[in-house]
Amino acid sequence: MAFPNIITDLINYFERLPGVGSKTAQRLVFYMLNFPDRELEEFGSLVGALKKRTQLCSTCKNISEEETCKICSDTSRNHRQILVVTSPLDVVALERTDYKGVYHVLHGLIDPLSYIGPDDIYLASLVERLEKLVFEVKNDPDSFVEVVLATNAGMEGESTAHYIRDLIREKGFDESVVRITRIGRGLPVGGDIEYADDNTLSRALDSRR
Ligand SMILES: [Zn+2]
């Protein structure tokens, strides 16, 4: 059946969201016709402002309202332990564990089949961060930086982890100063961190090598 244009247009947008099929999209849009005008306007203006009111944290590249995100600004956390993850949603999942280090969000994985190379994810900024940290710990013989590779266990996650390991070694960081670990087995193969339950995540973190 033919819907009014505005309804068709909205349905098309909802259909583009992950996990929303055309039936669900129709249901959502018709459901929204029951919202009071004020709420619909607020919803619309929030969607419009979504990218204007967020940015990538200048340090860890997580989504943030400020130039530096809350995690990077938190002085009680260990800023010399960097958990490298694929997406901001991984941070949300890992924040449910008792992890007290910081993060680096790659915003993707190296995937040649989809034409995503090392320059398309936030790797250069990770190296820059390490350079700064290594400079900081230089005069403290007991301190080191730990990079925990927590990309998921699928093929792209594994190859990206390998790439990062090689990259850090190629850059010539001393192995005792920049220590690289990989989040332990315990994450389902090919399963995203985002979907793993809290216990699985905590165990995987504890068993990093
Ligand atoms: Zn940050």
Q: What pLDDT does residue 142 have?
A: 80
Beta bridge partners of 47: none
Residue 185 lies in a domain: yes
41 shares its domain with 116: no
45 shares its domain with 80: no
Residue 65 lies in a domain: no
Number of domains in the chain: 2
Query: How far does residue 26's CA lie from ligand 1's centre (Å)?
Result: 38
96 and 198 Cβ atoms separated by less than 8 Å: yes
Q: What pLDDT does residue 207 have?
A: 73
Query: How far does residue 104's CA lie from ligand 1's centre (Å)?
Result: 8
42 shares its domain with 82: no
Q: Which helix or strand (DSSP H or E) is residue 148 part of?
A: strand 145-149
Q: What pLDDT does residue 115 have?
A: 94
Over the chain (209 residues), the average pLDDT of each successive run of 10 is 92 95 96 97 97 97 97 96 94 91 96 94 96 88 90 88 95 92 64 68 77
96 shares its domain with 145: yes
31 shares its domain with 97: no
101 shares its domain with 174: yes
Residue 62 lies in a domain: no
198 shares its domain with 122: yes
194 shares its domain with 100: yes
Q: What pLDDT does residue 189 have?
A: 46
Residue 55 lies in a domain: no
Task: Write b or e for each residue in 146-174: b if 16 or more Cβ atoms lie within 10 A of its Cβ, otherwise e.
Answer: ebbbbbbbbebbbebbebbeebbeeeebe
Query: How far does residue 202's CA lie from ligand 1's centre (Å)?
Result: 21
181 and 147 Cβ atoms separated by less than 8 Å: yes
Query: How far does residue 28's CA lie from ligand 1's centre (Å)?
Result: 34
Query: How far does residue 105's CA lie from ligand 1's centre (Å)?
Result: 9
Residue 127 lies in a domain: yes
Q: What pLDDT does residue 194 have?
A: 66
82 shares its domain with 149: yes
DSSP 53-112: S-EE-TTT--EESSSS-HHHH-TTSEEEEEEEESSHHHHHHHTTTT--EEEEE-SS--BG
- Which amino acid is present at 208? R
CATH number of the domain that 104 lies in? 3.40.1360.10
Query: How far does residue 31's CA lie from ligand 1's centre (Å)?
Result: 37
CATH number of the domain that 17 lies in? 1.10.8.420
Domain hosting 148: range is 75-206
Q: What pLDDT does residue 197 have?
A: 73
103 shares its domain with 167: yes
Query: How far does residue 56's CA lie from ligand 1's centre (Å)?
Result: 8
84 shares its domain with 135: yes
91 and 103 Cβ atoms separated by less than 8 Å: yes
28 shares its domain with 96: no
Query: How far does residue 81's CA lie from ligand 1's centre (Å)?
Result: 13
Q: Which helix or strand (DSSP H or E) is residue 195 part of?
A: none
137 and 145 Cβ atoms separated by less than 8 Å: yes
